[in-house]
Structure 1
């Protein structure tokens, strides 16, 4: 092993880099994505200008430090770049403040952590319990932003955490826009727009149920049919993700699709930069749906036309928050994008009429102009100065994080830096009781087998390896085909392949370098994932020694993929590094283990999955069992099924940083199971 690449060496080196001189401060800015630079750039530049002697850390992911450096060549020598995983793998109390725009990245342990956010609140997805518990300060954009926070606390019946400070800051990103510092003449020339025409800007939200996925291309065609206008399209920063990222793109490369329309319509321009502010300054009307960019346009006192998105409110939000009554959310300003301030249309073919109505009545739109000024922003045009002044105040007062002590993070980090022999010894001691029980059980069976009895675990999940392997080989079938063909219920034939095909439809097996499976047993899913996803590393957690030996003999010698076998303890993935996996999946496991163990596995999956990674599992929810199903189970010898509430799953996963992607139903036992697909937020 190259010692210079080891986590311990890197941590020690970083510790040395963080040494301070007298009165020097260390401030860490989180580069969650290139698209989010615009939300903290004004604050970073002003801080760097006013504090030339302080150390500034840039926390990056996926080699974005190189592109970031090109944008800040004038002050680039001030930065110390740190990879996000390294920073979060240990503790660095030397850092005085951690600042991020991505609340789902969470704060930094032991460090006073501030979230600047990356857009006004909308869609009902700004806050979660875990978010507010992981930060020390929220920098609010305006009274509306604060209302969104209060609504969240009310909806979830949560008290304002004692550790959490809130500040009335404003929106630093919009300062130049509000102060008229953007040169629209140069932009008009660079885009080759017709200066004699009005300019319409279509800037939709990316989410499922929003206008882009529902009618985006047709909306653009309708707008381009209005030849007397310049048509600009600005995609949300999520659309820069690969089309394999279903959560962000819906599986569509929108740049390619809209690019094809550019070749057809001479008055269409797809803006391919992250920053939207120049377009907001240039445009006369904004067309959107639930995107928070509407508030930025409204702050300029410009008109917005909203396209209704009932599926987002009636289906998508309801699926994420099934335990909350979301029926009134479509009327909340903090969730609907501010529709009460603009003209709303239900049919996209009414767009031409709506555009003319707005242009013919310029004094009428937007509605409630004076109220908008007071409600949307604190300190309009001066938010950057306000933010930096509050950062100075926090630094000068040596304010420390008051969040609860992160014991679990501490133990996990210390474990990671232990030498492998010590980690192996720790695992051995941890699993000693379970190993002792298994050895004892084997000895008992040796005795009672003589009398024709055996002690075994009940339930469908426990299949005898030796007998199954022997019978499958004798039949000339794979284990999967042998097990499915012996099922009297014909619906179960081909079950494994149906499930795998569904996972492929959701793009869960694309761009997969590391997979992890909980309870692979026979390996029937393992072999298909290896075939379709072609990972280079496959980790498994399995309890049955017989199946472990079989999987090792069959897959360990693969030249294209390394099989890593971990001893399972029934609730954690403690031998897997954080942010290291692209998919975690389990089949026929969460149907029988205790609910709390399932929830622990979900939390562990949130830890080990890389941002954008998938969590896939099946379980029995309340809709999987009716009276007749229950009777069939009772007529069998099996008593293992465990029911978990759908609402609990949705609440728990969203607070663990997951986004619900979809679910499907498949036959199982004497009833059926629901397969859930979640994605870790990026």
Structure 2
């Protein structure tokens, strides 16, 4: 059996890895373990361990982070899969095949900068990103598609709006903002009004729950959830947004990866450009722009763009009434940003891993 470890720097990396784990399990040649840093919040770790248990995935844990890292290294895994560089060099040995499946495909420059020469194989979601990474000097790339989206091809509709306390006679908006920069502050006064005529499911970023500087976001949205019956805040234990794509009719996001993932659904998308920036980024705007992939952001033509929060209701109503608007752009964007939407990204990646191992690499 080939021993594989999935290193989850945060809980929200797990949805990217689950389809890969499933494909490896299907092939029956892999012994799969998963781990999360000891330094993560206790609630986040508890959800992670519970989820892995439900998936029948063994976990590696230790309350001491240095001991956890050493335990993983001593286990001499044949393959270690990561979602960022993180602790990579502390947990691999010389013979380990190090694989990166980057945790996000949004608009942040970290996609290109969070890399290490120790990566032996990197999964890439599109040809355009392959070209960009090569231009940045990256090697060992394999074009796979985005593994997180594989389940969307066969997504069942078991989740019902009624089970979320929402009105099944109304259209449903999925609001999935980033933690920073974020549209949350601008939309807080608007979402309640919007919910009178639509259901709103709000899926916050992991950091909005577990990072102190962003916790105000989950606190503010929790108040909205309590005050308006047609608003549903996805609890942190439901860390995977994929099932919510299926029950929604339209996505509202900002710079989040969700905007690109949702292309799989060929449903309307609204891209909010009304951000609340930190003082230093308002004073030194170029510092903020350096963190954003401006070329990728400016190229987005498959979404309705919004720079005034007050216009959100009218744009939502338009998108729901005319869902075919921008369909041609969305279909073209599927290829541009996701390569293939065939549910086989994980299969292609596992093929590439098997080939590397067969070659005796590294």
TM-score by length of 2: 0.84
> How many angstroms apart in 1 are the aligned matches of 2:36 and 2:194?
39
CA contact (8 A) 1:106 1:131 kept: no
Q: 1:206 to 1:358 in 2, by over 3 A?
A: same
> How many angstroms apart in 2 are the aligned matches of 1:168 and 1:132?
19
Residue by residue over 1:614-657, the C-alpha shift from the partner in whole angstroms, topping out at 9 and shown as x without a partner, is xxxxxxxxxxxxxxxxxxxxxxxxxxxxxxxxxxxxxxxxxxxx
Residue 359 of structure 2 aligns with which residue?
397
Q: 1:65 to 1:398 in 2, by over 3 A?
A: farther
Q: 1:350 to 1:60 in 2, by over 3 A?
A: closer
Question: Does 2:310 correspond to 1:349?
Answer: yes
Residue 211 of structure 1 aligns with which residue?
183
Question: Does 2:324 correspond to 1:363?
Answer: yes
> How many angstroms apart in 2 are the aligned matches of 1:312 and 1:367?
33
Residue by residue over 1:368-415, the C-alpha shift from the partner in whole angstroms, topping out at 9 and shown as x without a partner, is 133212112234211121122222222222211xxxxxxxxxxxxxxx
Q: 1:327 to 1:57 in 2, by over 3 A?
A: closer
Residue 172 of structure 1 aligns with which residue?
147
Residue 288 of structure 1 aligns with which residue?
253
- The equivalences for 1:111-130 within 5 A come to 111-128=96-113
TM-score by length of 1: 0.47
The Cα of 1:139 is off from its aligned counterpart by 0.3
Aligned to 1:200, the other structure's residue is in SS state strand
- Structure 1's unaligned 5+ residue stretches are 1-23, 154-159, 401-682
Q: 1:56 aligns with which of 12, 32, 41?
A: 32
CA contact (8 A) 1:358 1:365 kept: no
Residue 200 of structure 1 aligns with which residue?
173
Aligned to 1:389, the other structure's residue is in SS state helix
Residue 124 of structure 2 aligns with which residue?
140
- Structure 2's unaligned 5+ residue stretches are none
> How many angstroms apart in 2 are the aligned matches of 1:134 and 1:25?
20
CA contact (8 A) 1:100 1:116 kept: yes
Aligned to 1:28, the other structure's residue is in SS state strand
Aligned to 1:182, the other structure's residue is in SS state coil
> How many angstroms apart in 2 are the aligned matches of 1:203 and 1:138?
26
> How many angstroms apart in 1 are the aligned matches of 2:52 and 2:278?
40
Aligned to 2:357, the other structure's residue is in SS state helix
Residue 207 of structure 2 aligns with which residue?
238
> How many angstroms apart in 2 are the aligned matches of 1:280 and 1:387?
24
> How many angstroms apart in 2 are the aligned matches of 1:329 and 1:65?
31
CA contact (8 A) 2:82 2:99 kept: yes
Aligned to 1:57, the other structure's residue is in SS state strand
> How many angstroms apart in 2 are the aligned matches of 1:317 and 1:294?
25
Q: 1:398 to 1:80 in 2, by over 3 A?
A: farther
Q: 1:189 aligns with which of 152, 162, 176?
A: 162
Aligned to 2:201, the other structure's residue is in SS state strand
The Cα of 1:318 is off from its aligned counterpart by 9.8
Aligned to 1:368, the other structure's residue is in SS state helix
Residue 273 of structure 2 aligns with which residue?
308
| Higher CA-based Rg | 1
> How many angstroms apart in 2 are the aligned matches of 1:45 and 1:290?
29
Residue by residue over 1:290-331, the C-alpha shift from the partner in whole angstroms, topping out at 9 and shown as x without a partner, is 111001112221111122146669964996975x9859953x
Residue 41 of structure 1 aligns with which residue?
18
Question: Does 2:216 correspond to 1:253?
Answer: yes
CA contact (8 A) 1:120 1:145 kept: no
Residue 96 of structure 1 aligns with which residue?
78
The Cα of 1:274 is off from its aligned counterpart by 0.9
> How many angstroms apart in 2 are the aligned matches of 1:34 and 1:215?
27
Question: Does 2:57 correspond to 1:86?
Answer: no
Q: Which of the pair has the greater relative contact order for Cα pairs under 8 Å at 6+ separation?
A: 2
CA contact (8 A) 1:299 1:376 kept: no
> How many angstroms apart in 1 are the aligned matches of 2:87 and 2:105?
17
Residue by residue over 1:526-578, the C-alpha shift from the partner in whole angstroms, topping out at 9 and shown as x without a partner, is xxxxxxxxxxxxxxxxxxxxxxxxxxxxxxxxxxxxxxxxxxxxxxxxxxxxx
The Cα of 1:349 is off from its aligned counterpart by 0.5
Residue by residue over 1:85-130, the C-alpha shift from the partner in whole angstroms, topping out at 9 and shown as x without a partner, is 33544854832211012344445352321111122142222232x6
The Cα of 1:188 is off from its aligned counterpart by 1.7
Q: 1:61 to 1:25 in 2, by over 3 A?
A: same
Residue 8 of structure 2 aligns with which residue?
31
The Cα of 1:203 is off from its aligned counterpart by 0.9
Residue by residue over 1:197-255, the C-alpha shift from the partner in whole angstroms, topping out at 9 and shown as x without a partner, is 11111111111x3212x42422423423xx22111111012222142xx2xx1xx3333
Over the aligned positions, Cα root-mean-square deviation in angstroms equals 3.2
